[in-house]
Amino acid sequence: MARRRALKGIAGGLVSSFISRNNDVNGYWGIGKLYSHMLKSKVDILRIDLIQNTIEPKSSEFEFRISKYYEWMMAQIEKQNINKNYLKNTEVIIEKLPKQADPLKLKCRVEITDHYNRECVW
């Protein structure tokens, strides 16, 4: 139980960092750059796999930042004394919500899957 609680805390930290105004991609607001990438790619959902260091749709512009998030996550895993092999997958998912009054509505969540295929979502 403590591991799942720790993973939820790590997932929450990742979400907070992703939406933070301090999330910087080449001098620009990170979530804004990701939104721009979504518009250019004409997709409503963007997936970032931290374990595999990939983004879908593909873009090399974000590789450095994704690797930094992976390093941060692994430092948190180590700090919580969790075996890194416990993680099967960690994915950051950003999706556009249906247009309402505000044209820019995004939802960001982190899904961490453990080696038992249980998901922790924040």
| Structural domain that includes position 60 | 2-121
pLDDT at 29: 83
Q: Residue 40 to residues 4, 16, 120: CA-CA distances in angstroms?
A: 36, 25, 30
Mean of pLDDT values over 47-76: 93
pLDDT at 2: 59
Q: Is residue 63 within 8 Å of 53, Cβ to Cβ? A: yes
pLDDT at 22: 78
Closest Cα partner for 31 from 114, 106, 109? 106
Model confidence band, residue 1 (pLDDT cutoffs 50, 70, 90): very low
Side by side, the strands of the sheet bearing 106-114 are 54-56, 45-49, 87-96, 106-114, 119-121
Q: State pLDDT tens for residues 8-35.
A: 999 999 998 888 877 777 778 888 889 8
The sign of the torsion formed by the CA atoms of 73, 30, 95, 43 equals: negative
What domain count does the chain have? 1
**Better-predicted residue by pLDDT, 42 or 98:** 42
